[in-house]
Amino acid sequence: MKRHKKIVRLLPLDSKRFKFLYIFNLLLIFCLFGRLVKLQVFNASDLQRKARLIQSSKTNSLQKRRAIVDRNNRLIAYDKPLYKLWAHPKYFSLPGDSINEVRSTEEVIKILSSILDIKYEILLGKFNEEISGIKLLDKISEEKAEKIKNLQISGLDLIKYSQRYYPQGELYSNLVGFVNDENKGSAGLELHLNNQIKVFSKSNLIKRGGDGTPLPDNSAPGDFISDYENLGLTLDSKLQKASFKALLKQVRKWKAKKGFAIVMDVNNGEILSLVSVPSYNPNKFWQYDTDLFRGWYTQDLFEPGSTFKPINLALALEEKVIHKNGLVEDIGRINVGGWTLYNWDKKGNGYIDYPKVLQVSSNVGMVKIMQNLDPKIYWDWLNNLGISKNLETDLFESTAGQLKRKDLFVNQSIEPAVTSFGKGFSISPLKLVQLHAALANGGFEVTPHVTSTFKDRFNKNQKKQFFSNEVSKTVLEWMESVVDKGSGSGVKIEGYRIAGKTGTSQKAINGSYTSKKVCSFVATLPVNDPKYVVLVVVDEPSKPYAYGSTVAVPVAKEIIESLIVIEKIPPNIEEQGVIVKKP
């Protein structure tokens, strides 16, 4: 059978349809072009930002802080890595389970309770109707966190964080301070040296490709390595512990308000121990009154009393208004500008030499000695010593001492008179330590400090000399007689030459002196080769017969005995009238 081909007749395209297609395609092209312009011009910066977010990721580094260690690398504060455990029950599955299989909460808790040492019922009680984001536990140790990771249970998240820990408890709290719950320095060195203790990461941005693979960038080698250098202190933990125990015992015995003790190297200003009582546990800082967090030994001022008499004698010697072998008459009282000033016991001592003035702590003798010095020169000396200036230190912001205006000091004779025995002005305990260090080291100013790895910030300038070497040596020998024959005899240790001076001053409140006292004692050793200054201050002992000799001296003796052992200070052996230093 023969097939016939079908002929299809082509009709011309409808003009209306043609125009519609033409206009439609033209509009489509314009829309695409407009979209391209919008993306490339108007949305370019926003798209670049979104691209960077996809192509790069931040490494969320922990807010870490440097460890703080003593001079022998013993830990004082460090960051303890801990973990938080979060649960997402809708994703619970165990290794080997099928993709869609979901384990029950009870099954997972049964496994966790044995690892966390927490009862099954307690863990179960933490779950609610939420199917995700349940915080199960905080402060999980690294050991337990590793065990949880090894379980490979889906639906459990461990979040690592860092918590500050102080292994020596209250021993360093008044000095080092603590960090708060947000890991921010809140007291002591943790606050004052916060920028030196915080760890800063050099780089935390990683570029990635579309499949998540890290891409090479311009980062230099080591950019992702953080600086974990320790903050080293000049203190010795053994001496710190011995000092703290001695001070705490005496503060409790005399029912005092507070106490302070320090040991410092007179040649470079390094502080070997610094303790204050009462103290607190920095690991549980929230349990204590905030008044305990202050570094009062740099911020509070007190009248140094008789512990300032050696400084005044040095000034008199420097101005040559007294001579080394001179005498002064002490009848027990003296009238100055209408005021009658007395010795502490209101007794006279007759004609006495200058070592005796210190031994019996004669106020009258000191007034007569300093009356030889022009008040203008006297005030200039006190100002030059930095009495009314802030003390440069790495401890805390110090409070400047209080010294009367020069015109009052010069025109009112009572002012230089009371200043001669350490009253009428005030300084911080740390400032008193600095001045006695200058007496011990030949007259040079040193900067008290506790940091060792960052000590370059201090002593940049040439040392300022307050006293001549000859004057320093003379006054130190006079102070030695106080330990040998005077009120500081309680600190005497056989075989060691120790200089010292006691102080007992009344506290002034609202311009009037009260019955409240501040008892103090300052010591320097060894006299033949001065190396250390020790200061003990006990504020407001409340029992009778509270003096520097009865309250502060016993603390200083215990500290010095520990210092001798820890620093291996050799005794002096007297052979045929010659003092020989033991090697």
Query: Residue 519: beta bridge partners?
Result: 504, 538
Instruction: Centre a 10 Å sphere on the Cβ of residue 174 and count the other Cβ atoms it contains.
Output: 26
Instruction: With beta carbons less than 8 A apart as the criterion, state whether 179 and 165 touch.
Output: no
532's tokens: 């250390």
Q: How far apart are CA 242 and CA 230, in angstroms?
A: 24
**Helix or strand run (H / E) with residue 536:** strand 532-539
Instruction: With beta carbons less than 8 A apart as the criterion, state whether 433 and 533 touch.
Output: yes
**Helix or strand run (H / E) with residue 381:** helix 375-384
Query: Residue 402: beta bridge partners?
Result: 426
Q: How far apart are CA 449 and CA 297, in angstroms?
A: 13
- The string of DSSP letters for 461-510 reads SPPPB-S-HHHHHHHHHHHHHHHHHSTTGGG--TT---EEEEEEEEEEET
Q: How far apart are CA 389 and CA 401, in angstroms?
A: 6
DSSP state of 571: P
- The string of DSSP letters for 116-164 reads HT--HHHHHTT--S-SS-EEEEEEE-HHHHHHHHHHT-BTEEEEEEEEE
Query: In terms of DSSP bridges, do strands 499-509 and 572-575 run parallel, antiparallel, or are they unpaired?
Result: unpaired
Angle CA(311)–CA(316)–CA(320) in degrees, nearest 5? 145
Instruction: With beta carbons less than 8 A apart as the criterion, state whether 156 and 135 touch.
Output: no
**Helix or strand run (H / E) with residue 315:** helix 309-318
Burial of 180 (0-12, 13-18, 19+ CB in 10 A): middle
Instruction: With beta carbons less than 8 A apart as the criterion, state whether 502 and 521 touch.
Output: yes
Active site residue 306: yes
Q: How far apart are CA 241 and CA 264, in angstroms?
A: 15
Instruction: With beta carbons less than 8 A apart as the criterion, state whether 450 and 394 touch.
Output: yes
Type of residue at 23: I
Instruction: Centre a 10 Å sphere on the Cβ of residue 382 and count the other Cβ atoms it contains.
Output: 23
Instruction: With beta carbons less than 8 A apart as the criterion, state whether 328 and 352 touch.
Output: yes
Active-site residue, selected from the candidate residues 186, 237, 279, 306: 306
Instruction: With beta carbons less than 8 A apart as the criterion, state whether 301 and 428 touch.
Output: yes
Known catalytic residues are: 306
